[in-house]
Chains A and B, each alone.
Chain A
């Protein structure tokens, strides 16, 4: 009996091995949302980051001159914008003082470098070189100078994993300026997004700016997300589908900021 079983297992070892290994892989695949798996992901990212960092730093040095020029131009533009916003802020502060609103929190920015993007530019997780020691928390928003990049989903001592917008699971509450129509933005592939179920009474047009709505606890309001490029009528006749391009170039994200929100 045992000999027969042994002979069977020996003869079918390839098939049995394949079956067992595929079963194990599938079970692990189905448990991707388990906290233990997230913890494992964080430990792996933290362990591998010292290996990848020298290459990242070398690449950064190679591209530094060109990026310097671009950043200098952006700084000048942003300085002009900042001066305008300061004036508006002072005016806003006076109005808030007058009607006694509680002041909204200031945003603290933690600069970070991307040290791993995975095998594909569209794999929706990146590893950054700051973690718990630098004040990064789970669900902290991640942005760059162009707009929203994603959010932190796993934090270790000196690294963190961020889920980025270009991923099938990513959703974010947004509003479309200037009418402030709100909806849930999801990724549509490449650098495009989709906002379904916008009432067709809203006045949306091409080149409207899409920003975070502020309704979520995680993302502060008015962080740029994308630009509307197309609007189409939904089949139900009452809503429209808004498509657009994301402002952030996810093929070239290297320098980022993690937002620290003062008020939880």
Chain B
């Protein structure tokens, strides 16, 4: 219960930060996905089924606050990745730490690419430019913040 409350409080704080102060995070239209970083930590700290429900909830809030035009997309993507992250977290002791962190970065990339693919599917001829101009910068930005968080709050179990 304490862990749940702790992550719920962090979630509220992140929501307030992103919603009210989004412009301060903005670098020429590129924003990090702080909710995905939270989801990674939840998947590694709570049981997988809790991570799945957390992913859905985070996605719903993200859609309500930031993505009113495509309601349903963020919960779908976040639930999917929460499930994948939960499965990886269950096997974290069997995986090399560096490989695991790299895997998280790859998950961040796929999260951004999946969202952008759904969003820009109707725009003609933009797959390559969206990948270079949106997905990669957003992935880099989110990865930098994730690695900073990982430095101060290590993702992996210290008793490996």
The residues of A with any CB-CB pair to B shorter than 8 Å are: 13-15, 17-18, 21-22, 24-32, 37, 40-41, 44-45, 48, 51-52, 55, 59, 117-125, 161, 163, 167-169, 186-190, 194, 251
24 A/B residue pairs, CB under 8 Å, sorted by A = A14-B86, A17-B52, A21-B56, A22-B76, A24-B75, A25-B76, A27-B72, A32-B72, A40-B71, A44-B68, A48-B19, A118-B66, A119-B18, A119-B65, A119-B66, A121-B26, A123-B69, A125-B69, A168-B120, A168-B123, A169-B122, A187-B123, A189-B120, A251-B28
CB pair A118 B67 closer than 8 Å: yes
A124 CA / B120 CA spacing, docked (Å): 11
Contact of B80 among A13, A22, A45, A169 (CB under 8 A): A22
Max count, chain A CB within 10 A of own CB: residue among B21, B59, B66, B123: B123
Q: Can you name 12 extra interface pairs (CB under 8 A) apart from A17-B52, A32-B69, A119-B65? A: A14-B52, A18-B79, A21-B52, A21-B56, A21-B79, A29-B73, A37-B71, A44-B68, A48-B19, A118-B68, A119-B66, A121-B29
For residue A125, which residue of chain B has the nearest CB? B69
A186 CA / B125 CA spacing, docked (Å): 12
Contact residues, B62-114 vs A (CB, 8 A): 62, 64-73, 75-76, 79-80, 82-83, 86
CB pair A168 B122 closer than 8 Å: yes
A116 CA / B59 CA spacing, docked (Å): 18
CB pair B133 A189 closer than 8 Å: yes
A26 CA / B75 CA spacing, docked (Å): 9
CB pair B49 A44 closer than 8 Å: no
Q: Which residues on the A side are within 8 Å of B18 (C-beta)?
A: 119
Q: Flag whether B20 is at the interface (Cβ < 8 A).
A: yes
With contact pairs A32-B69, A188-B126 given, residues A120 and B29 touching in the complex (Cβ less than 8 Å): yes
CB pair A119 B123 closer than 8 Å: no
Q: Which residues on the B side are within 8 Å of A125 (C-beta)?
A: 68-69
B contact patch SS: helix
A120 CA / B56 CA spacing, docked (Å): 20
A141 CA / B17 CA spacing, docked (Å): 32
Contact of A48 among B65, B119, B121 (CB under 8 A): B65
- 7 smallest beta-carbon distances between A and B, as pairs: A29-B72, A119-B66, A28-B72, A25-B76, A168-B122, A25-B75, A121-B29
Shortest distance between the CB of A5 and any CB in chain B (Å)? 17
Max count, chain B CB within 10 A of own CB: residue among A13, A29, A44, A121: A29
CB pair B70 A29 closer than 8 Å: yes
CB pair B76 A26 closer than 8 Å: yes
With contact pairs A51-B20, A251-B29 given, residues A28 and B124 touching in the complex (Cβ less than 8 Å): no
Q: Which residues on the A side are within 8 Å of B70 (C-beta)?
A: 29, 32
Q: Flag whether B22 is at the interface (Cβ < 8 A).
A: yes
Q: Which residues on the B side are within 8 Å of A119 (C-beta)?
A: 18, 22, 31, 62, 65-67
CB pair A51 B72 closer than 8 Å: no
Q: Flag whether B2 is at the interface (Cβ < 8 A).
A: no
Q: Which residues on the B side are within 8 Å of A187 (C-beta)?
A: 123
- Residues 113-153 of B, flagged 1 when their CB comes within 8 A of A and 0 if not, give 00000011111111001100110000000000000000000
Shortest distance between the CB of B42 and any CB in chain A (Å)? 13
Max count, chain B CB within 10 A of own CB: residue among A51, A189, A190: A189
A118 CA / B19 CA spacing, docked (Å): 8
Q: Which residues on the B side are within 8 Å of A26 (C-beta)?
A: 72, 76
Shortest distance between the CB of A92 and any CB in chain B (Å)? 39
A67 CA / B64 CA spacing, docked (Å): 31
CB pair A55 B20 closer than 8 Å: yes
